[in-house]
Structure 1
Amino acid sequence: MNPDVDASLASSFRLLQQSASSVAGGVDLLFTAMLLLTGVVALGVLVAIVFFAVRYRQGSRVSRGIVQRKLGIELTWTLVPLALFIVIFSWAAHDFLLLYEPPRDALPVYVVAKQWMWKLQHAAGRREINELHVPLGQPVRLVMTAQDAIHSFYVPAFRLKQDVLPGRYTSLWFTPTQVGEFHLFCAEYCGSQHSQMIGRIVVMPPAEFTRWVSAGPTEPSLAQYGFARFRELGCSGCHTPGSTVNAPSLRGLLGREVHLSDGRSLVADENYVRDSILLPEKDVVAGFQPVMPSFAGQVSEEDIQALIAYIRSGEAP
């Protein structure tokens, strides 16, 4: 054997892939704990099988009478696995919930998946296809939807995978911890060219990222484009103070509790705004009449994301 090849193989082997995000360490720790736990259980079962196979083999002189019930043993093999299951479940649930509670300073990135590409847009207006540039150490929140089929946003080095669905928004957040380029895949079969729906995440030092954003094509920010569509679609005719049609205020809407005419309450998020634009009679605000028309077929997913960015900016009336 070539010693150089052996050394190269040894240095490239990893039990776990490179981790490059704030959530990767927790995922790896949970995975390792589950691997060790199931390994110990499997080893224990194997030892027990071998022991009983040898001890009670045909012809051995051992008692084969009725086994007396032992309550202590039964309680042990019932309660101990139950306790371990509850611990693992609570641990995993805690880490899972953290993925959907982004920091307030998280950098929003809007993602539209379609056959067979990833379309991404930064709040500053810069657009990308099959690439996402992010600054090192800055929390990033992805707000994602699909244009056609179900896709899945998967970055192995970040230990992140999230289904991207048509007709609704899904989201998650991460903080990059290493500079470099990392693979982006679609992990949900989405058609004949599914295997070609690949991209990359480029993590850059903050100063370099700032230069990259400002060096891009001169485009209005997502909120500015949203404001333009807000006026073009006639939204300002109802959602501004003093308008002839009384409509709910949009100022500070996202994250606010909304009381509905049917007695329900909900916290306004991206899905609520999307439904209000396309299905305005679904969640009518208490005290208002269902007079808003549907804009289905008149706005694209990018338009809706821009309108959401405009509302999130705090400039909406």
Structure 2
Amino acid sequence: MNGDTDARLAASFRLLAQSASSIAPRSDLLFTAMLLLCGAVAVGVCITLLWFCIRYRQGSAAVRGTVERKLGIELAWTLLPLLLFIALFTWAAFDFVRLYRVPPDALPVYVIAKQWMWKLQHRNGRREINELHVPLGQPVRLVMTSQDAIHSFFVPAFRLKQDVVPGRYTGLWFQATELGEFPLLCAEFCGSEHSAMLGRIVVMPPADYARWLDAGNAQPGPAQQGFARFRQLGCSGCHAAGSTVHAPALEGLPGRLVHLQDGRTVVADDNYIRDSILLPHKDVVAGFAPVMPSFAGQVSEEDLQALLAWLHSTKGPP
């Protein structure tokens, strides 16, 4: 009996927390390397300090005259740690860039944080609150914004944490590598019930996920909702292909380079599109008059994400 208990304990022991995403092992390896490097430097400094305390203690026979300069030693203790930490920084920067370089086949999920819940919507229109169902082995792209305070989307098992900020979009992607349920937390104090802003990520086999997704309430997806709002708000009167009003074409806009009236060139990312709807005079496209009205107060966060989803659906192959 004791042998079985010891075996179970040995099997459940983890030096690091459970990792369940493609980025988690790389994050753990980077953290371990940083810990070992910093630990080695700290131990080396402590050993050297202890040796100096003993070697040059009061009453010892150590020579305390002028110390001859050793250029080789000075270069070694300066350049070697510098090169090691530069290598560590380069490693971390590579992983950071990889985390924000979204695979073209990633499933989009639209996230709105509010006090005190997570509201999520899948590409076919199915909605969830404080839960996110995803397929095993499939990249998932999160497009996130906040309706009120700053929140932080934190999944410890995936080694992911991203601030969710009102007035702008943030995002990241992940690929789950283990089946099961994993805690979803808010890691930014967001009000009196911050500690209750809890959720879970449910990782399912792809076939089960497809059945679960199709079993949701029948409703238009975000792209269809966005196109409907595009027409309801009267945007098609200026931006449609057959419009008599001189306005920029919107099809295929996301990711495109846009030349502005003030000479700047920007990429039409999600935040540029959001600002163009709410603050149309902020970045006026070259060759067009600043006549577009602001839709601030007329569209909700759900509307903005739906319009964004529709614009992304008009893009060609990556």
Bin for the TM-score computed over the shorter chain? over 0.9
Amino acid in the other structure paired with 1:305: Q
**Hey, what's the Cα distance between the residues in 2 that align with 1:152 and 1:80?**
37
Name 2:149's counterpart in structure 1. Answer: 149
**Hey, what's the Cα distance between the residues in 2 that align with 1:108 and 1:190?**
25
Amino acid in the other structure paired with 2:33: A
Q: Secondary structure at the match of 2:77?
A: helix
**Hey, what's the Cα distance between the residues in 2 that align with 1:26 and 1:20?**
12
Count of aligned positions: 315
Name 1:239's counterpart in structure 2. Answer: 239
Name 1:221's counterpart in structure 2. Answer: 221
- Cα drift, residue 13 of structure 1: 2.9
**Hey, what's the Cα distance between the residues in 2 that align with 1:59 and 1:4?**
59
Per-residue CA distance 1:91-145 (angstroms, 9 max, x = gap): 1011001111101111000111111111111111010111100001111000100
Are 1:105 and 2:105 matched, yes or no? yes
Name 2:39's counterpart in structure 1. Answer: 39
**Hey, what's the Cα distance between the residues in 2 that align with 1:231 and 1:246?**
17
Distance change (3 Å), C-alpha of 1:147 and 1:85? same
Are 1:136 and 2:129 matched, yes or no? no
Q: TM-score, normalised by structure 2?
A: 0.96
**Aligned ranges for residues 17-166 of structure 1 at < 5 Å?**
17-166=17-166
Per-residue CA distance 1:16-55 (angstroms, 9 max, x = gap): 1111111111111111111111111111112112211222
**Hey, what's the Cα distance between the residues in 2 that align with 1:209 and 1:264?**
44
Distance change (3 Å), C-alpha of 1:105 and 1:47? same
Q: Secondary structure at the match of 1:238?
A: helix
Q: Secondary structure at the match of 2:154?
A: strand
- Cα drift, residue 66 of structure 1: 2.1
Q: Secondary structure at the match of 2:110?
A: strand
Name 1:276's counterpart in structure 2. Answer: 276
- Cα drift, residue 3 of structure 1: 7.4
Q: Secondary structure at the match of 1:112?
A: strand
Which is further off, 307-316 or 125-134? 307-316
- Cα drift, residue 10 of structure 1: 4.3
- Cα drift, residue 4 of structure 1: 7.0
Name 1:298's counterpart in structure 2. Answer: 298
**Which ranges in structure 1 are unaligned for 5 or more consecutive residues?**
none
**Hey, what's the Cα distance between the residues in 2 that align with 1:58 and 1:124?**
78
**Hey, what's the Cα distance between the residues in 2 that align with 1:171 and 1:42?**
37
Q: Does the 8 Å contact 2:254/2:315 carry over to 1?
A: no
Q: TM-score, normalised by structure 1?
A: 0.96
**Hey, what's the Cα distance between the residues in 2 that align with 1:59 and 1:312?**
78
- Cα drift, residue 306 of structure 1: 0.1
Are 1:204 and 2:201 matched, yes or no? no
Q: Does the 8 Å contact 2:110/2:305 carry over to 1?
A: yes
Name 1:12's counterpart in structure 2. Answer: 12
**Hey, what's the Cα distance between the residues in 2 that align with 1:35 and 1:315?**
44
Amino acid in the other structure paired with 1:198: L
**Hey, what's the Cα distance between the residues in 1 that align with 2:28 and 2:315?**
41
Per-residue CA distance 1:149-175 (angstroms, 9 max, x = gap): 111101011010111101000111111
Amino acid in the other structure paired with 1:58: Q
Q: Secondary structure at the match of 1:252?
A: coil
Distance change (3 Å), C-alpha of 1:55 and 1:315? closer
Q: Secondary structure at the match of 2:239?
A: coil
Amino acid in the other structure paired with 1:164: V
Distance change (3 Å), C-alpha of 1:108 and 1:65? same
Moved beyond 4 Å, runs of 4+:
2-10
**Which ranges in structure 2 are unaligned for 5 or more consecutive residues?**
none
Indicate the RMSD between aligned Cα atoms, in angstroms. Answer: 1.6
**Hey, what's the Cα distance between the residues in 2 that align with 1:272 and 1:185?**
28
**Hey, what's the Cα distance between the residues in 1 that align with 2:144 and 2:82?**
37
- Cα drift, residue 11 of structure 1: 3.8
- Cα drift, residue 8 of structure 1: 5.2
